[in-house]
Amino acid sequence: MRNLKTFIQDFGWPRIIIFFFLVALFVMAPFVRVRLDASVSDVLNRFGQNAIMVLAMVPMIQSGCGLNFGLALGLVAGLLGATLSLQLELHGMLGFLGAIVLAAPFSIILGWFYAKLLNKVKGEEMTIAMYVGFSFIMFMCIMWLVLPYNNPTMVWGYAGKGLRTTISVENYWLHILNNFLAIKIGQFFVFPTGLLLFVALFAFLMWLFLRSKTGTAMTAVGSNPDFARASGVDVDKMRTISVIISTFLGAVGIIVYEQSFGFIQLYTAPSPMVFPAVAAILIGGASINKASMANVLVGTILFQGLLTMTPSVINSLLQTDMSEVIRIIVSNGMILYALTRKVKVSK
Amino acid sequence: MSARKKLSTLFSRYAVVIIFVIITLAAIPPSGLSIKYILQEIITRLGRNSFLVLALLLPIYAGMGLNFGMTLGAMAGQVGLIFAVNYGIANWQGLVFAMLVGLPISVLLGWVCGLVMNMAKGREMVTGYILAFFINGIYQFFVMYMLGSVIPMGNKAIVLSRGYGIRNTLNLESVRQSLDNIVMLHVGGFSIPLVTFIIIALLCGFVVWFKKTKLGQDMRAVGQDMAVAEAAGIPVEKTRIVAIIISTVLACAGQIIFLQNMGNLATYNAHDQTGFFAVAAILVGGASVTHASIANVFVGVMLLHSMFVVSPLAGQKLFGSAMIGEYFRQFIGYGVIALSLVLYAWRTRKAAAEARLSLRGVQDDSAKGNGGTAVGNGGQA
Amino acid sequence: MNGTTEAKGAPQTKTRRHLVRGGLLVAYILIMVLMILTGRRHTILIDNKDAADGSYRAINGMEVSIDKQESSEYYPGDRDKAMVQGQKHTIKVNIFDDNKTIEQSFTVPLWNDMTIISVPKMVAGIEPWIEPFTMAEQIQEALESGPPAGEMSFQSLDSGVPAGTEQTQQSP
């Protein structure tokens, strides 16, 4: 009994409620003529789309920088990589990997500056990160209009310059991961093997990294900066590394998202993508100073499951589309819950 | 050495204001707007926005930072206006009615906001920001599903054709500029909405008076140091809640004043930018997370909005695209908030470091170097 | 000041606090009722048409004003609207033919959105010259009195419905 109680306390009521709500949705699905196999396939697909962006939260949480509300910087780096890959007419797997390689220098440079800034404002990271992210997105909005891209699939037809708001990757690297070794069962179920393998690879690398010497030092900085400093760890350096990794993962994350979604969305599109990633890792059980791979996996599945299932099930149940409202309340409620929880003193 | 240091502190304190004045002045000639037009716009926008920005003052005094949770009050005001339009209550009476409907809602929301912020001490700003999003979900649910179904709406013209939920845009024709037009002064070719300005002046008077009351003094004490205030017997948590409630109620009234001037209500997103514009304005006016005055509010509204007036046209002329000007002004808005927060956080850290060093009696050389990079990074942001 | 009363006795401050709160609540409700009464907006349709049964005839040209609003001219078959706030109003009619001025005061029910005043009925002294107006009823009426009256009914359909549609177009 006692075990159960502490388990619930550790896990947190919101998560348990969300978990049972999701289970209820799955149970209800067949009764309102929503195909289970299609839904599961959908959830898997969306899990793969978003998991890396959620993974990007881990290093900064571990190093004590809090929730990365400035993930937008990484997303924009990813967009730069993706558009450059299209500009260079890179197709297929080459195009996809090319996008990641091209995004890397941007994410490293941006991440470095971003880390420098965050190191100057310790304790206020989250609010500042949010506004740095927003203003950078706005700055890039101007850049998308004036940068000299000229691939006709990307620029506005009539003006011949300025990138479109959405660019299709159909002839370049659409579903390059999704279709890799994909297993199709029946008419509705597709298992996106390649996508999930890619996510697993990154999760594994992150898991390895957190156990490496640098990784443990980083975690030490997050859990007790003074102690870490005393034992000879360069706090600022560790934080910088974590921010750069987070930014890079954000870039990879959005490129993975794009190859599955089919479009590169520019301009203000990245700003609404940050909060869901933050919410997902919190739903998975992370707090603002501790996160693990399990948090990423559980959180992304729960959150994306919720986003996939609520529209279909609730719509057929109530004949109205409440999914948007539920999404807003759940994701922000989750972040709020994490922010207001008493930060546990690490034992 | 010390003179240079003084200059650099002065610059860092007013960096935002200085940068802003330069950008705006530089943008006026290419925009091609006449000074008279810009002045009239500024007068209009002062009437429209000052009240909302003034709502930010008390939480700053109470040490709770910039109250991004003011959006809650804005939503309460919008609910009030929806009911005023629904019951066909027009003119300034409609505005008072909307305020009366919004009042209990904003008190309730402010109380919730205060409780939540007390649970997240030291993270009030980001918490308020997320809370605004969270309550936005509840607002959407209320307006989109409850109104017209659970709560009957008599005026079918404002209800969606499916029978419940309010339309995306609500025409506020019945209350449009009813406050501004009670007495509209025409002086030297300028139109001045006298009553709106009188109300704003009364609010300023209230703030000045409030700071002198016992509660106001307590608030400042809490803002300076919670532990000391607690030890002095001030009910810290309660005082903080009161500050937030007053701010939320003022934001409710402010949003009603704002919307009566606009004349239209974008039902589902009119409040999205409320907090952002208000916060940007007060920061542009030279306020910081812990220090703000009434002068900051007016200077800020004037500066921010004169830039908002000129930037789309300047963008059009300079780059051949109005969108660039539009993005630019949002970039500046967000950038200003980021920059002021960075400068503030950097200054507090530096002050703390200097205090530590002076205790140890060590000469401080590193702080200056830090200063240079911090400002540089702010520019990057 | 507060300190001394509190020191003397808590119950006294408590009752005073209750009184203040009760007063505030009463004031809140009073102001709200006052705002509804004085702020409620009504549309008044001013109608100058012949009766369907010929019991009265439209006035051959007149000037009508409600309260202190600007007056406008009406000729047979005209219908226009005025917006008013509050419930008690006066209507002033100046008939061109005999230069006679009639002033009448009237009350609009609080929760009524649209009211029609038939000026010919008012001038002829036929009650009720003021009636609540709903668009649906009016269309129904026009359709019912359709075939026999022929031309007349078309006229009433023409003038009745567009007046209503125009109304909805302007108000949103």
Residue A192 lies in a domain: yes
- pLDDT score for A25: 83
How many angstroms away from the CA of B163 is the closest CA of chain C?
A: 17
The answer to whether C35 contacts B157, with C-beta atoms less than 8 Å apart, is no
How many angstroms away from the CA of B34 is the closest CA of chain A?
A: 26
- pLDDT score for B136: 93
Q: What is the ipTM of this complex?
A: 0.81
**HEC string for chain B:** CHHHHHHHHHHHHHHHHHHHHHHHHHHHHHHCCCHHHHHHHHHHHHHHHHHHHHCCHHHHHCCCCCCCCHHHHHHHHHHHHHHHHHCCECHHHHHHHHHHHHHHHHHHHHHHHHHHHHHCCCCHHHHHHHHHHHHHHHHHHHHHHHECCCECCCCHHHECCCCCCECCEEECCCCCCCCCCCCEEEECCEEEEHHHHHHHHHHHHHHHHHHHCHHHHHHHHHHHCHHHHHHCCCCHHHHHHHHHHHHHHHHHHHHHHHHHHHCEEECCCCCCCHHHHHHHHHHHCCCCCCCCCHHHHHHHHHHHHHHHHHHHHHHHHHHCCHHHHHHHHHHHHHHHHHHHHHHHHHHHHHHHHHHHHHHHCCCCCHHHHHHHHHHHHHHHC
- pLDDT score for C136: 59
CA distance B303 to B122: 30
- pLDDT score for B12: 67
Same-domain status, C82 and C68: yes
CA distance A327 to A309: 11
Evaluate if residue A75 carries a pLDDT over 90: yes
- pLDDT score for B315: 79
Evaluate if residue A341 carries a pLDDT over 80: no
Mean pLDDT is lowest, of B7-16, C19-28, C100-109, for B7-16
The dihedral built from the CA positions of residue C16, C21, C22 and C26, taken in this order, carries a sign that is positive
Evaluate if residue C132 carries a pLDDT over 70: yes
Q: How many CB atoms lie within 10 A of CB A12?
A: 18
Same-domain status, C125 and C93: yes
Q: Tens digit of pLDDT for each residue in A267-324?
A: 888 888 888 898 888 888 888 788 888 889 988 988 888 888 877 787 777 777 777 8
CA distance A347 to B253: 48
- pLDDT score for A10: 67
Residue B296, token pair as written in the block: 């900051």
Provide the pLDDT confidence category of residue A55 given band limits of 50, 70 and 90. very high
- Quote the domain boundaries for residue C27: 2-38
- pLDDT score for A8: 67
pLDDT per residue of chain B (381 residues) written in tens, 0 to 9: 567 777 777 776 677 788 888 888 888 888 888 888 999 999 999 999 999 999 999 999 998 989 999 999 999 999 999 999 999 898 899 999 999 999 999 999 999 999 999 998 888 888 898 899 999 999 999 998 888 888 888 888 888 888 888 998 888 888 888 888 888 888 888 889 999 999 999 999 999 999 999 999 999 999 988 899 999 889 999 999 999 999 999 999 999 999 999 999 999 988 988 988 899 899 888 888 888 999 999 999 998 888 888 888 887 888 777 788 788 888 888 888 888 888 888 887 888 877 777 776 554 444 444 433 333 333 333
The answer to whether B145 contacts A325, with C-beta atoms less than 8 Å apart, is yes
**Which residues fall within 8 angstroms of residue A142, CB to CB, at 6 or more apart?**
B324, B327, B328, B331
Instruction: Give the position of tokens 């608030």.
Output: B219
Provide the pLDDT confidence category of residue C138 given band limits of 50, 70 and 90. low
Mean pLDDT is lowest, of A16-20, A255-259, B98-102, for A16-20
Average pLDDT of span C127-147: 64
Same-domain status, C27 and C107: no
Provide the pLDDT confidence category of residue C149 given band limits of 50, 70 and 90. very low
- pLDDT score for A279: 85
Same-domain status, C29 and C97: no
CA distance A272 to A269: 6
Mean pLDDT is lowest, of A254-263, B134-143, C92-101, for C92-101
Residue A212 lies in a domain: yes
- Quote the domain boundaries for residue A118: 37-270
Q: Identify the CA nearest to A193 among candidates A207, A183, A205, A204.
A: A183
Same-domain status, C91 and C121: yes
Evaluate if residue C157 carries a pLDDT over 60: no
Chains C and A touch (3+ CB pairs under 8 A): no
Provide the pLDDT confidence category of residue C51 given band limits of 50, 70 and 90. confident
Residue A250 lies in a domain: yes
Same-domain status, C95 and C129: yes
Same-domain status, C123 and C61: yes
Which H or E element spans position A263?
A: strand A263-265
Q: Does B323 touch chain A (CB under 8 A)?
A: yes
Same-domain status, C33 and C8: yes
How many angstroms away from the CA of A196 is the closest CA of chain B?
A: 31
Q: Which residues of A touch B (CB under 8 A)?
A: 69, 113, 116-117, 120-124, 126-128, 130-132, 134-136, 138-139, 141-142, 145-146, 162, 275, 320, 322, 324-326, 328-329, 332-333, 335-336, 339-342
Q: How many CB atoms lie within 10 A of CB A255?
A: 30
Write out chain B residues lying below 8 Å of C85, CB-based. 90-91, 93
**Per DSSP, which regions of C25-167 are E strands?**
41-48, 62-66, 72-74, 78-85, 88-95, 100-107, 114-118, 130-132
- Give the domain CATH number at C90: 2.60.40
Buried b (16+ CB within 10 A) or exposed e, A154-168: bbeeeeeebbbeebe
How many angstroms away from the CA of B146 is the closest CA of chain A?
A: 12
Evaluate if residue A347 carries a pLDDT over 50: no
- pLDDT score for C70: 82
Report the residue from B136, B333, B370 with minimal CB separation from A328. Answer: B136
- pLDDT score for A328: 85
Q: How many CB atoms lie within 10 A of CB B351?
A: 11
Same-domain status, C88 and C99: yes
Question: By the 8 A CB rule, do A154 and A83 touch?
Answer: yes
The phi and psi torsions of A213 (rounded to 5 degrees) equal -65, -45
Report the residue from C39, C85, C168 with minimal CB separation from B97. Answer: C39
The phi and psi torsions of B122 (rounded to 5 degrees) equal 90, -15
Q: What is the pTM of this model?
A: 0.82
Same-domain status, C129 and C77: yes
Report the residue from A120, A139, A322 with minimal CB separation from B377. Answer: A120
Q: Tens digit of pLDDT for each residue in A84-127?
A: 988 888 888 888 898 999 999 999 999 999 999 988 888 778 88
Count of domains forming chain C: 2
CA distance B8 to B41: 34
The phi and psi torsions of A48 (rounded to 5 degrees) equal -60, -40
Q: Tens digit of pLDDT for each residue in B227-276?
A: 999 998 899 999 999 999 999 999 999 999 999 999 999 999 889 889 88
CA distance A250 to A76: 9
How many angstroms away from the CA of B166 is the closest CA of chain C?
A: 13
Taking only Cα atoms into account, the Rg of chain A, rounded to an integer number of angstroms, comes to: 20
DSSP code for C97: T
Residue C150 lies in a domain: no
Q: Tens digit of pLDDT for each residue in B332-363?
A: 888 888 888 888 888 878 888 777 777 765 54
Q: Identify the CA nearest to C89 among candidates C118, C56, C117, C61.
A: C117
Q: Which of the listed residues C100, C115, C133 is the one where a domain comes to its end?
A: C133
Same-domain status, C93 and C109: yes
Same-domain status, C22 and C75: no
Residue C165 lies in a domain: no
Residue A305 lies in a domain: no
- pLDDT score for A252: 93
The neighbours of chain A, by the rule of 3 or more Cβ pairs under 8 Å, are B
Evaluate if residue C164 carries a pLDDT over 70: no
3-state secondary structure of C68: coil
The answer to whether B89 contacts C171, with C-beta atoms less than 8 Å apart, is no
Average pLDDT of span C75-99: 84
The answer to whether B100 contacts C35, with C-beta atoms less than 8 Å apart, is yes
